[in-house]
Structure 1
Amino acid sequence: MPHFIVDCSQSILAYHDEDTINEQIHHTANASGLFAEHEIKVRVNPYKNYLVGNKRDEFIHVFTHIMQGRTTEQKAELSKAIVTQLTQMFPHIDNIAMNVSDFEKATYCNKNQL
Protein backbone atom coordinates (compact mmCIF):
# COMPACT_ATOMS: atom_id res chain seq x y z
CA MET A 1 0.00 0.00 0.00
CA PRO A 2 -0.52 2.70 -1.29
CA HIS A 3 -2.00 1.87 -4.68
CA PHE A 4 -1.81 4.32 -7.60
CA ILE A 5 -4.09 3.09 -10.38
CA VAL A 6 -3.78 5.09 -13.59
CA ASP A 7 -6.75 4.93 -15.93
CA CYS A 8 -5.91 6.56 -19.25
CA SER A 9 -6.60 6.63 -22.94
CA GLN A 10 -4.40 4.08 -24.69
CA SER A 11 -3.18 6.74 -27.12
CA ILE A 12 -1.09 8.48 -24.43
CA LEU A 13 1.31 5.52 -24.49
CA ALA A 14 2.63 6.89 -27.79
CA TYR A 15 4.24 9.71 -25.75
CA HIS A 16 5.47 7.74 -22.70
CA ASP A 17 5.31 4.00 -22.14
CA GLU A 18 3.75 2.33 -19.10
CA ASP A 19 7.11 1.72 -17.42
CA THR A 20 7.99 5.42 -17.60
CA ILE A 21 4.59 6.46 -16.24
CA ASN A 22 4.87 3.92 -13.41
CA GLU A 23 8.40 5.08 -12.55
CA GLN A 24 7.49 8.77 -12.52
CA ILE A 25 4.43 8.28 -10.32
CA HIS A 26 6.43 5.99 -8.02
CA HIS A 27 9.19 8.60 -7.74
CA THR A 28 6.73 11.42 -7.03
CA ALA A 29 4.83 9.37 -4.44
CA ASN A 30 8.08 8.39 -2.74
CA ALA A 31 9.27 12.01 -2.72
CA SER A 32 6.12 12.97 -0.78
CA GLY A 33 7.58 11.24 2.29
CA LEU A 34 4.16 9.77 3.12
CA PHE A 35 4.99 6.14 2.31
CA ALA A 36 7.68 3.51 2.61
CA GLU A 37 9.13 3.17 -0.88
CA HIS A 38 8.86 -0.64 -0.97
CA GLU A 39 5.11 -0.40 -0.31
CA ILE A 40 4.22 1.91 -3.24
CA LYS A 41 2.28 0.11 -5.98
CA VAL A 42 1.60 1.71 -9.37
CA ARG A 43 -0.19 0.30 -12.40
CA VAL A 44 -1.57 1.64 -15.66
CA ASN A 45 -4.92 0.67 -17.20
CA PRO A 46 -5.03 1.98 -20.79
CA TYR A 47 -8.45 2.12 -22.44
CA LYS A 48 -9.03 1.74 -26.16
CA ASN A 49 -12.72 2.72 -25.95
CA TYR A 50 -13.82 5.68 -23.84
CA LEU A 51 -15.65 9.00 -23.86
CA VAL A 52 -14.75 12.19 -22.05
CA GLY A 53 -17.59 14.70 -22.16
CA ASN A 54 -19.08 12.66 -25.02
CA LYS A 55 -15.82 13.04 -27.04
CA ARG A 56 -12.69 10.94 -27.56
CA ASP A 57 -10.43 13.40 -25.76
CA GLU A 58 -7.32 11.87 -24.23
CA PHE A 59 -7.38 11.57 -20.45
CA ILE A 60 -5.45 10.44 -17.40
CA HIS A 61 -7.06 9.82 -14.02
CA VAL A 62 -5.17 8.43 -11.04
CA PHE A 63 -7.21 6.60 -8.43
CA THR A 64 -5.16 6.45 -5.26
CA HIS A 65 -5.94 4.26 -2.26
CA ILE A 66 -3.97 4.79 0.95
CA MET A 67 -4.26 3.70 4.57
CA GLN A 68 -6.22 6.18 6.65
CA GLY A 69 -4.27 8.56 8.87
CA ARG A 70 -2.98 11.24 6.49
CA THR A 71 -4.37 14.75 6.74
CA THR A 72 -6.52 16.34 4.06
CA GLU A 73 -3.63 18.73 3.39
CA GLN A 74 -1.18 15.84 2.87
CA LYS A 75 -3.56 14.13 0.46
CA ALA A 76 -4.15 17.38 -1.42
CA GLU A 77 -0.39 17.96 -1.73
CA LEU A 78 0.07 14.40 -3.00
CA SER A 79 -2.64 14.89 -5.64
CA LYS A 80 -1.14 18.18 -6.73
CA ALA A 81 2.37 16.68 -7.00
CA ILE A 82 1.19 13.73 -9.10
CA VAL A 83 -1.01 15.88 -11.37
CA THR A 84 1.89 18.35 -11.78
CA GLN A 85 4.25 15.52 -12.79
CA LEU A 86 1.75 14.12 -15.29
CA THR A 87 1.07 17.59 -16.70
CA GLN A 88 4.80 18.04 -17.31
CA MET A 89 4.94 14.67 -19.04
CA PHE A 90 1.75 15.21 -21.07
CA PRO A 91 1.35 19.00 -21.56
CA HIS A 92 -1.06 18.53 -24.49
CA ILE A 93 -3.63 16.55 -22.46
CA ASP A 94 -6.34 18.72 -20.89
CA ASN A 95 -7.97 15.99 -18.80
CA ILE A 96 -5.55 15.02 -16.02
CA ALA A 97 -6.86 14.41 -12.51
CA MET A 98 -6.36 12.39 -9.33
CA ASN A 99 -8.33 11.51 -6.23
CA VAL A 100 -7.27 9.91 -2.96
CA SER A 101 -9.41 7.42 -1.03
CA ASP A 102 -8.61 6.04 2.40
CA PHE A 103 -8.52 2.38 3.37
CA GLU A 104 -10.13 1.87 6.77
CA LYS A 105 -7.66 0.17 9.13
CA ALA A 106 -10.44 -1.76 10.87
CA THR A 107 -11.56 -3.49 7.66
CA TYR A 108 -8.27 -3.82 5.76
CA CYS A 109 -6.66 -7.25 5.59
CA ASN A 110 -3.73 -8.65 3.62
CA LYS A 111 -2.00 -12.03 3.53
CA ASN A 112 0.55 -11.05 6.16
CA GLN A 113 -2.25 -10.44 8.67
CA LEU A 114 -3.62 -13.97 8.44
Structure 2
Amino acid sequence: MPHFVIDCSKNILTLQQPDTIMQEVHKAATDTGLFDETDIKVRLNPFKEYYLVGGKKGDFIHVFANIMEGRTTEQKAILSKQIVSQLKALFLTIPFIAINIRDFEKATYCNKDMI
Protein backbone atom coordinates (compact mmCIF):
# COMPACT_ATOMS: atom_id res chain seq x y z
CA MET A 1 0.00 0.00 0.00
CA PRO A 2 -0.29 2.57 -1.65
CA HIS A 3 -0.84 1.69 -5.30
CA PHE A 4 -0.19 4.12 -8.15
CA VAL A 5 -1.53 3.02 -11.54
CA ILE A 6 -0.40 5.19 -14.43
CA ASP A 7 -2.56 5.17 -17.56
CA CYS A 8 -0.98 6.89 -20.54
CA SER A 9 -0.93 7.07 -24.30
CA LYS A 10 1.69 4.69 -25.67
CA ASN A 11 3.54 7.58 -27.34
CA ILE A 12 4.58 8.74 -23.85
CA LEU A 13 6.99 5.79 -23.81
CA THR A 14 8.88 7.24 -26.77
CA LEU A 15 9.58 10.35 -24.68
CA GLN A 16 10.71 8.63 -21.46
CA GLN A 17 11.52 5.07 -20.47
CA PRO A 18 8.77 3.27 -18.51
CA ASP A 19 11.12 2.68 -15.56
CA THR A 20 11.93 6.40 -15.42
CA ILE A 21 8.24 7.31 -15.31
CA MET A 22 7.48 4.79 -12.57
CA GLN A 23 10.56 5.83 -10.56
CA GLU A 24 9.50 9.49 -10.70
CA VAL A 25 6.03 8.66 -9.36
CA HIS A 26 7.61 6.46 -6.68
CA LYS A 27 10.04 9.23 -5.70
CA ALA A 28 7.30 11.85 -5.59
CA ALA A 29 5.19 9.65 -3.30
CA THR A 30 8.20 8.89 -1.10
CA ASP A 31 9.17 12.57 -0.87
CA THR A 32 5.81 13.44 0.70
CA GLY A 33 6.72 11.41 3.79
CA LEU A 34 3.24 9.86 3.83
CA PHE A 35 4.36 6.31 3.01
CA ASP A 36 7.08 3.83 3.77
CA GLU A 37 9.10 3.60 0.56
CA THR A 38 9.01 -0.20 0.56
CA ASP A 39 5.19 -0.19 0.62
CA ILE A 40 4.73 1.89 -2.56
CA LYS A 41 3.60 0.02 -5.67
CA VAL A 42 3.62 1.60 -9.14
CA ARG A 43 2.25 0.15 -12.39
CA LEU A 44 2.07 1.56 -15.91
CA ASN A 45 -0.65 0.90 -18.51
CA PRO A 46 0.11 2.34 -21.96
CA PHE A 47 -2.83 2.65 -24.39
CA LYS A 48 -2.08 2.27 -28.10
CA GLU A 49 -5.47 2.12 -29.76
CA TYR A 50 -8.51 2.56 -27.60
CA TYR A 51 -8.66 5.96 -25.97
CA LEU A 52 -9.84 9.52 -26.61
CA VAL A 53 -8.70 12.75 -25.05
CA GLY A 54 -11.07 15.61 -25.78
CA GLY A 55 -12.77 13.51 -28.48
CA LYS A 56 -9.56 12.61 -30.34
CA LYS A 57 -6.30 10.71 -29.96
CA GLY A 58 -3.89 12.79 -27.96
CA ASP A 59 -1.14 12.22 -25.45
CA PHE A 60 -2.13 11.93 -21.82
CA ILE A 61 -1.02 10.70 -18.42
CA HIS A 62 -3.48 9.96 -15.64
CA VAL A 63 -2.42 8.49 -12.31
CA PHE A 64 -4.92 6.60 -10.17
CA ALA A 65 -3.70 6.59 -6.57
CA ASN A 66 -5.24 4.14 -4.13
CA ILE A 67 -4.16 4.78 -0.55
CA MET A 68 -5.22 3.57 2.88
CA GLU A 69 -7.77 5.85 4.53
CA GLY A 70 -6.61 8.21 7.24
CA ARG A 71 -4.74 10.91 5.32
CA THR A 72 -6.13 14.43 5.48
CA THR A 73 -7.43 16.28 2.44
CA GLU A 74 -4.40 18.56 2.70
CA GLN A 75 -2.00 15.58 2.67
CA LYS A 76 -3.74 14.12 -0.36
CA ALA A 77 -3.60 17.49 -2.14
CA ILE A 78 0.15 17.69 -1.48
CA LEU A 79 0.57 14.16 -2.85
CA SER A 80 -1.42 15.06 -5.99
CA LYS A 81 0.55 18.22 -6.64
CA GLN A 82 3.89 16.50 -6.00
CA ILE A 83 3.20 13.72 -8.50
CA VAL A 84 1.78 16.03 -11.18
CA SER A 85 4.75 18.39 -10.72
CA GLN A 86 7.25 15.55 -11.20
CA LEU A 87 5.46 14.32 -14.33
CA LYS A 88 5.09 17.83 -15.73
CA ALA A 89 8.85 18.31 -15.40
CA LEU A 90 9.42 15.09 -17.37
CA PHE A 91 6.81 15.85 -20.03
CA LEU A 92 6.79 19.55 -20.81
CA THR A 93 4.81 19.12 -24.05
CA ILE A 94 2.08 16.76 -22.81
CA PRO A 95 -1.18 18.71 -22.52
CA PHE A 96 -3.02 16.39 -20.13
CA ILE A 97 -1.39 15.19 -16.89
CA ALA A 98 -3.67 14.46 -13.94
CA ILE A 99 -4.16 12.34 -10.83
CA ASN A 100 -7.01 11.31 -8.59
CA ILE A 101 -6.75 9.75 -5.17
CA ARG A 102 -9.09 7.14 -3.72
CA ASP A 103 -9.07 5.86 -0.16
CA PHE A 104 -9.10 2.16 0.72
CA GLU A 105 -11.22 1.32 3.74
CA LYS A 106 -9.06 -0.30 6.39
CA ALA A 107 -11.97 -2.51 7.50
CA THR A 108 -12.39 -4.07 4.05
CA TYR A 109 -8.77 -4.19 2.82
CA CYS A 110 -7.11 -7.59 2.86
CA ASN A 111 -3.87 -9.06 1.55
CA LYS A 112 -2.36 -12.52 1.88
CA ASP A 113 -0.32 -11.60 4.97
CA MET A 114 -3.53 -10.74 6.80
CA ILE A 115 -4.97 -14.25 6.46
Q: TM-score, structure 2 length as denominator?
A: 0.98
1:94 aligns with 2:95: yes
> C-alpha distance in 2, partners of 1:106/1:23?
30
Q: Sequence identity of aligned pairs in percent?
A: 59
Which consecutive unaligned segments of at least 5 residues does structure 2 have?
none
Q: Which runs of 4+ in 1 moved over 6 A?
A: none
- What letter matches 1:90 in structure 2? F
Give the superposition deviation at 1:82.
0.3
Equivalent position SS for 2:79: helix
Give the superposition deviation at 1:53.
1.1
Instruction: Give per-residue Cα distances to partners, 1:49-90, cap 9 Å, x unaligned.
Output: 211111111000000000000000000110000001100000
Give the superposition deviation at 1:98.
0.1
Q: Identify the residue that residue 58 of structure 2 maps to in structure 1.
A: 57
Q: Please provide the CA RMSD for this pair.
A: 0.5
Equivalent position SS for 1:83: helix
Equivalent position SS for 1:96: strand
Instruction: Give per-residue Cα distances to partners, 1:25-49, cap 9 Å, x unaligned.
Output: 1111101000000000001100002
Q: TM-score, structure 1 length as denominator?
A: 0.98
> C-alpha distance in 1, partners of 2:70/2:52?
35
> C-alpha distance in 2, partners of 1:95/1:17?
18
> C-alpha distance in 2, partners of 1:21/1:3?
15
Which consecutive unaligned segments of at least 5 residues does structure 1 have?
none
Q: Mapping of 1:31-110 within 5 angstroms?
A: 31-49=31-49, 50-110=51-111
